[in-house]
Structure 1
C-alpha cells in the first residue's frame, strides 16, 4: 500500500493519527449502517416477494371471474355497462427517512361521492357475477399500491447499500491502510532522526573530552 506524500514531522504524525481515529470511527459507523440497511432490505424483499405472489394470484382469479362474467352478458352491453362508470382516486405521496434513505409513503383515497353505490352502471344489463368480479378487482388496488411502495423502497435502499459499501471499502482497503502505513513510516523516520541526533551528541561529547 502506497503511503501518503507528507513530511515526516511530529506535527504531521499527530495530524495523521487524528485522521486515522476519525476514519476508523467513520468506518465502524458506516459498517453498522450497512448491516442495518441489509437487515431491513432482506425483510422488505421477503415481504415484497410474498405480496407480489399474493397480488398476482388475486389478479389472476379476479380476471378469470371477469372473463366468465363477461361471457354471460351480451357483447353489445359491455361498453354500455362501463361508459358511465367513473371513480376518482386521489394519490398522496409522503416521504419518510429510513437510515438516511428518503423513501415514499403512499396513500390513496377514493372519493365518497363517486362510490356511494357499489357499481355505477345499469343493473338491468349487468349480473351478480360481473359485480363480484369488479369488486374483487377493486379490492386488489390497496395491495397494488403497497407493492409499488415496497418495490420503490427496495430500489432506493439497494442504491444506498451500494453507496455505503463503496465508502466502507474505500476506508477499509485504501484510506485506513494508507494512514497506518504513513504513520509507521513517519515514526520510523523520527526514530532514525533521534538515533542520529544521539550519535552526533555522543561524538561531540567524545571530541570535547579528547581535547
Structure 2
C-alpha cells in the first residue's frame, strides 16, 4: 500500500497519541460513509444506464414513426405545408423545465416536459386537406420530443453521477491507502516511543534504587564499624584505667620516703 512506511512528523506524547487516535476514528468513519455513498451512487448509476439503453431503443422506434408520419402528412397535404404550420403556431405547446434530485448528497439535474393548453390555434391547421395526417404527425413528434427530453435528463444525470462516483472513489482510495495507514503508522511510532521512554524511566529508577541501597549498606557498614571502633576504644580505655589503678595499689607499699636533710 502507498501509505505503508509513512507517518506524520509529530512529537511522541500522550496528548498527541489521543489526537491521532481521534483522527483515525474520524478517518475510519468517513471512509465507511464514503464507501456507502459510492455504493448508492453506483446502484443509481446502473439503473440510469438501463433506462438510457431502453430510452435509446424507444427513441429509434419513435423517430422512425415520426419520419413516416411526416411523409404521410406531406403526401396528404402537399409538400409545401411548412408555411401553413408556421402561420398557425404562435408559441410552443411542449415546454421543458429543470429541477434537481438529491441522490446521496449529489444533485442530479432532471428535465420534465409539460404542455400549455390554448397556446396555439393549430386545430385548424390543414383544414383544407390532410388535416388528420398533420395532427397525427404532430402527435408523433410530440412523443419524440418527450422521449428526447427523458433521454437528455438521463444522459445529464449519467454524466453527473459518473463524475461524482470518480471523485468519491478517489476519496475512498485516499482514505484507505494513504490517510489511514499514515495515521496508523504514526500511532505505532508514538506508542513505540512512549514504551521506550517508559523502559528508560524504569531502568533509571532501578539504577537509582540500586544506588540508594548500596549507599544505605555502606552507611550501615560505616556505622557498624564506627560502633565497633568506639566499643573497642571504650574497652581499651576501661582496661587501661583498671591496670593503672592496680599498678598504683601495688606500688603504694614499696615507695620510699625521701630523705630529710636538716
TM-score (norm 2): 0.73
Given that 2:41 and 2:161 are in contact with CA atoms closer than 8 Å, whether structure 1 keeps it comes out as yes
User: 1:111 — aligned with what?
Assistant: 116
From 26, 32, 52, the equivalent of 1:22 is 26
User: 2:166 — aligned with what?
Assistant: 162
From 118, 142, 147, the equivalent of 1:143 is 147
Given that 2:77 and 2:129 are in contact with CA atoms closer than 8 Å, whether structure 1 keeps it comes out as yes
From 59, 76, 81, the equivalent of 2:84 is 81
Alpha-carbon distance in 1 for matches of 2:97, 2:86: 27
Question: Per the alignment, in what secondary structure is the counterpart of residue 114 of structure 1?
Answer: coil
Given that 1:81 and 1:126 are in contact with CA atoms closer than 8 Å, whether structure 2 keeps it comes out as no
The 5 A counterparts of 1:1-211 are 1=4, 2-75=6-79, 77-86=80-89, 87-88=91-92, 89-114=94-119, 119-126=123-130, 128-211=132-215
Alpha-carbon distance in 2 for matches of 1:70, 1:122: 11
Long gaps (5+) in structure 1: none
Given that 2:84 and 2:125 are in contact with CA atoms closer than 8 Å, whether structure 1 keeps it comes out as yes
Question: Per the alignment, in what secondary structure is the counterpart of residue 94 of structure 1?
Answer: strand
Question: Per the alignment, in what secondary structure is the counterpart of residue 206 of structure 2?
Answer: helix
Alpha-carbon distance in 1 for matches of 2:78, 2:106: 52
Moved >6 Å (runs of 4+): none
Change over 3 Å in CA distance of 1:115–1:78 after alignment to 2:
closer
Alpha-carbon distance in 2 for matches of 1:43, 1:155: 13
Long gaps (5+) in structure 2: 216-262
Please tell me the root mean square deviation across aligned C-alpha atoms, in Å: 1.9
Given that 2:97 and 2:111 are in contact with CA atoms closer than 8 Å, whether structure 1 keeps it comes out as yes
Number of equivalences? 209
Alpha-carbon distance in 2 for matches of 1:55, 1:8: 65
Given that 1:81 and 1:125 are in contact with CA atoms closer than 8 Å, whether structure 2 keeps it comes out as no
Question: Per the alignment, in what secondary structure is the counterpart of residue 111 of structure 2?
Answer: strand
Bigger relative contact order, structure 1 or 2 (CA pairs below 8 A, ≥6 apart):
1
> What is the CA distance between 1:204 and its match in structure 2?
1.3
> What is the CA distance between 1:120 and its match in structure 2?
4.5
Given that 2:7 and 2:186 are in contact with CA atoms closer than 8 Å, whether structure 1 keeps it comes out as yes
Given that 2:110 and 2:157 are in contact with CA atoms closer than 8 Å, whether structure 1 keeps it comes out as no
